[in-house]
Structure 1
Amino acid sequence: MTKLTLGSYPYLLGFDQLERLVERTAKSGNDGYPPFNIEQTSDHSFRITLAVAGFAEEDLTITVEDSQLNVRGAQQDADDDRVFLHRGIAARQFQKSFVLAEGVEVGAASMENGLLHVDLTRSVPETVVQTIQINKPRGA
């Protein structure tokens, strides 16, 4: 059986990048840590909220690279001599990646009660109608 790709459909021109984007997202290795929510805050805006209890603002890095939002967390090693009888609060490093569609921009980020909020907005593309003139062949 032949695998159908977006390039196999003659009316979907230029969508090969979308297929690569889906493959990249599937390979991003995102596990379930830290847990997160994505909510729609208006018709053209979203908020990603990550549960980052135990992380300080200095421990978190938010970057956008090649249409991908990356949130990384790495806690500084404490120099105290604490002895844990039980350690149930995760303190491991993480990287969470979100692929952004064209026109989606990252706005502000804020921390509140152990939750990291990242606001996104999507610009509404303007409808453009273009008329293409048909040229006569040379020498006709």
Structure 2
Amino acid sequence: MAIFDMHRFRLRVYYEDTDLAGIVYYANYLRFIERARTEWVRELGVDQGRLLAEEGVVFAVRRVEAEYLKPARFDDQLEVRTALGGLTGARIDLRQDIWRGETCLFSANVGLVALREDGRPARIPAAIRAAMAGQD
């Protein structure tokens, strides 16, 4: 069960997102969920550039488990729904689904980790953990 209210990010499929058949190229679903994660963090008040500059911490994808259910097509209006499934001192687990209307097209479980610039694990600052958990 998610401990954070679902975040919603809307986007439209552009021609550049598709293959010759007008179907979204599989790797672009990962780009779509990345955009949604970035907007979720931004809406929580986290400036990732400042986090790197001041704390030396970045978020990196460690694991993605994805299921492609139905194709998205050129000009579709999509919604990426992101929910926090778990949060520890250095790890964030998310569920991200891409919907077209009432149809789920793509579903992913994403594991993020906090890292220092040298690649070593880092703790997520307490204020950011609290914001992610909805306790700010």
Q: When the two structures are superposed, what TM-score results if normalisation uses the length of structure 1?
A: 0.28
Q: When the two structures are superposed, what TM-score results if normalisation uses the length of structure 2?
A: 0.28
- Larger RCO (CA under 8 A, 6+ residues apart): 2
